């Protein structure tokens, strides 16, 4: 998850730096402060802004999560015109500049704001403020289950119906399709969460959550579909398929997955004739897509990705793995990770 911390005041900027230093170092966390206080921060991950509303608007689409250090009223007024879809909007957390509260404001379940608020609170001794009804009641909502397993809940109308049923104390059954790739992974994962699960297709009469990639039209069944995992890959000339697969396997392991979860490999057009890359995709039996550098440069700019001067000088753009993976709209699961001859980034498609 790529996060942007935006501070409205100089005092808030100091808290923002504390939050930045305490979040996991394996994912990008950038701090945005007013231009007049920027000289106080000699850090490549701290950026200045002239107008707060512009900073929030630009970063709303650039990051997976926003941590806004300001009054909640200011945050709400500035965010309101941009909020569109709870399945795609970024997670938003609001903190007071005194660091007393970490409020999960937007995309609590699917976007991961609730968990991020708890993490920030634990690291800064703030009080996490979670208002989603199921969390308040200590209950496990189906869409929260979906978020933990990187599954997409559908149809949309059934999310509220199943969540309401959970709140009402009604019994919800969980099923995993035996036809689903990596069926055993989802069964084990659900059991670890304390959820009883059946490996079969549900009937249409009961309230149920069904982990599947099948199509099923039922008013009382919420489908949880696996999101595609996109692997962005950059590599040196002449890198073998074995070297690429070894790096990709390690990268998948870092997010608790295996190579079997990879649905697509993406890279720059400059690597279109790399035999090792082509052979790796063939061995995994997944599509391999090469993007023009102009497209990747646009993604780098929009997502504010960090570039390597050496790579940019060599092939024309300075970030291949993340930009190629993020061409498909999604949430960064693994920031660009460098191996001896390969760089890998992983993205869960939204």
Residues 207 and 305 in one domain: no
What strands, in cross-sheet order, belong to the sheet with 3-7? Answer: 46-49, 29-34, 3-7, 65-69, 91-95, 101-106, 127-129
| 123 in the same domain as 243 | no
Residue 67: inside a domain: yes
CA torsion angle for 211, 215, 217, 218 (degrees, to 10)? -20
Domain ends where: 174, 201, 226?
226
Task: Tell me, yes or no, whether 137 lies in a domain.
Answer: no
Calculate the CA 336 to chain-centre distance.
Answer: 14
* pLDDT, tens digit (0-9, with 9 covering 90-100), for 292-344: 999 999 999 999 898 888 889 889 999 999 999 999 989 999 999 999 999 99
Half-sphere exposure of 126 (CA within 13 A, CB side): 29
The last residue of one of the domains, among 208, 226, 244, is 226
Same domain assignment for residues 92 and 156:
no
Q: Are residues 234 and 277 in the same domain?
A: yes
Calculate the average pLDDT of the chain.
Answer: 94
Which has the higher per-residue pLDDT, 44 or 177?
A: 177
Task: Say yes or no: 8 and 126 in one domain.
Answer: yes
Looking at the 3D structure of the chain, how many domains does it have?
A: 3
The closest of 39, 68, 63, 40 to 52, measured between CA atoms, is 68
Whether residues 338 and 259 share a domain: the answer is: yes
Q: Same structural domain for residues 184 and 249?
A: no
In a domain, 136, yes or no: no
222 and 239 together in one domain: no
| DSSP symbols for 100-121 | -EEEEEE-SSSS-HHHHHHHHH
Contact predicate 209/328, CB 8 Å: no
Same domain, 234 and 339: yes
The domain boundary, picked from 90, 107, 131, lies at 131
- Of the chain, the percentage scoring pLDDT greater than 70 comes to 100
**What is the pLDDT, as a whole number, of residue 310?**
87
Same domain? 241 vs 343: yes
Q: What is the CATH number of the domain that holds 76?
A: 3.40.50.11220
Phi, psi of 324 (to 5 degrees): -65, -40
233 with 222, same domain: the answer is no
Rg (CA), the chain: 21
Closest alpha carbon to 87 in 146, 174, 163, 27? 146
Q: 5-35: per-residue pLDDT in tens?
A: 999 999 999 999 999 999 987 888 999 999 9
Q: Which backbone phi and psi does 158 adopt, to 5 degrees?
A: -85, -10
pLDDT value of position 204: 80
Q: Give 126's contacts (C-beta < 8 A, 6+ positions apart).
A: 95, 99, 100, 101, 102, 120
Residue 41: band (very low, low, confident or very high) from pLDDT cuts 50, 70, 90 = confident
pLDDT tens for 129-160 read 999 988 888 889 999 999 999 999 999 899 99
Q: Are strands 229-235 and 342-349 parallel, antiparallel or unpaired?
A: antiparallel
Domain span including residue 190: 142-226
Q: Which two tokens stand for residue 347?
A: 């993205």
């Amino acid at each position: 998850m790529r996060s942007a911390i935006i501070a409205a005041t100089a005092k808030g900027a100091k808290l923002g730096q504390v939050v930045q230093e305490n979040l996991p170092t394996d994912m990008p966390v950038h701090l945005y402060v007013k231009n007049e206080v920027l000289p106080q921060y000699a850090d490549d991950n701290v950026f200045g802004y002239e107008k707060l509303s512009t900073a929030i608007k630009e970063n709303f689409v650039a990051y997976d999560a926003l941590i806004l250090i300001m009054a909640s009223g200011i945050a709400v007024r500035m965010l309101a015109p941009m909020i569109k879809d709870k399945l795609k909007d970024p997670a938003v957390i609001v903190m007071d500049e005194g660091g007393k509260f970490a409020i999960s404001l937007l995309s609590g379940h699917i976007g991961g704001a609730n968990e991020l608020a708890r993490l920030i609170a634990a690291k800064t001794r703030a009080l996490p403020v979670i208002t989603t009804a199921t969390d308040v009641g200590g209950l496990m909502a189906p869409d929260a289950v979906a978020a933990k397993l990187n599954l997409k809940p559908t149809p949309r109308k059934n999310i509220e119906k199943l969540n309401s049923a959970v709140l009402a104390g009604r019994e919800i059954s969980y099923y995993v399709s035996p036809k689903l790739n990596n069926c055993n992974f989802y069964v084990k994962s659900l059991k670890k969460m304390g959820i009883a699960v059946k490996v079969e297709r549900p009937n249409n009469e009961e309230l149920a959550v069904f982990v599947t990639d099948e199509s099923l039209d039922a008013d009382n069944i919420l489908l949880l579909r696996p999101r595609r995992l996109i692997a962005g890959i950059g590599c040196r000339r002449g890198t073998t398929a074995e070297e690429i697969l070894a790096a990709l396997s390690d990268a998948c392991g870092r997010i608790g997955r295996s190579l079997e979860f990879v649905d697509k490999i993406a890279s720059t057009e400059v690597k279109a004739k790399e035999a090792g890359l082509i052979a790796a995709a063939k061995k995994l039996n997944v599509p391999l897509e090469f993007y023009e550098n102009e497209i990747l440069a646009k993604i780098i700019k929009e997502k504010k990705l960090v570039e390597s001067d050496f790579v940019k000088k060599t092939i024309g753009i300075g970030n291949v793995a993340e930009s190629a993976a993020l061409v498909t709209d999604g949430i960064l699961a693994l920031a660009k990770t460098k191996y001896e001859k390969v760089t890998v980034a992983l993205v869960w498609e939204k």
